[in-house]
Amino acid sequence: MAVFVALGAFLMTLAGGWVAQRVTDRRHLVLGLAGGLMLGVVGLDLLPEAIGAAGGEVFGVPAALLLFVGGFLVAHLVERLLAGRQAAHGAGGDERVPQVGLTAAAAMVGHSLMDGIALGAAFQVGGGMGAAVALAVITHDFADGFNTYTLTRLYGNARRKALLMLFADALAPIVGAATTLLFTLPEELLGCYLGFFGGALLYLAAAEILPEAHHTHPARSTLLCTVAGVGFIWLVVGVAE
């Protein structure tokens, strides 16, 4: 059942990527919406789940929050290192670093893989739990597909690479759900991963996606798209609960 439901996540991910590439004439609106979706996923979905699952505290701070900060710092460090390497080879300071986009998209694929594992684990608990998790996964995988394609293209990667990362992101929930037939992932490990990934995703939204969205088009419509993205994830989380 979990693998069958993951097929719905596969289709929703592809639908999100399709929407992202079809509205290229409104790039600032796409980026504004993507930033809102990423912010909503981190603040309203990933972080609360990570805090609840990761377990105890480390020196007075929840482990998930420490990893959240660590993910933010690692994403910043990776981008600076890659940008410095590209500058050393003669690239301009304003040029995007394609590897950053691919790394970010790969992290989205890893997140979708964990979605599939969470889906399979929920069905191991019971049908009701599985249905609730399925609703959350299938709905917010639209945002995952949208963000995966947008992130890859934003950093200057070719459309072919963006489509490959989108397809990998769409397949990941199916693979993750299938693996739960073989083993069970410890809840604490899943929570720690979600915290770390949430920090990296927040960095990309706050430091890259949203500034780029407002750079050439500081329009009210862009801000409304960002708010709409957050509101959409809020609605998804509320319905799933």
- Give per-residue pLDDT as tens, 93-113: 455 678 777 887 887 888 788
How many structural domains compose the chain?
1
Range of the domain at 67: 1-240
Residues β-bridged to residue 185: none
| CA quadruple 4, 112, 150, 7: dihedral, nearest 10 | 0
How far is C-alpha 210 from the chain's CA centre? 15
- Specify whether the CB–CB gap between 53 and 114 falls below 8 A: no
pLDDT at position 127 over 70: no
pTM of the model: 0.67
Q: What is the pLDDT of residue 168?
A: 93
pLDDT at position 197 over 60: yes
Angle of CA points 148, 109, 186, to nearest 5°: 140
Closest CA to 101 of 166, 177, 25, 162: 162
Distance between CA 205 and CA 15 in Å, rounded? 21
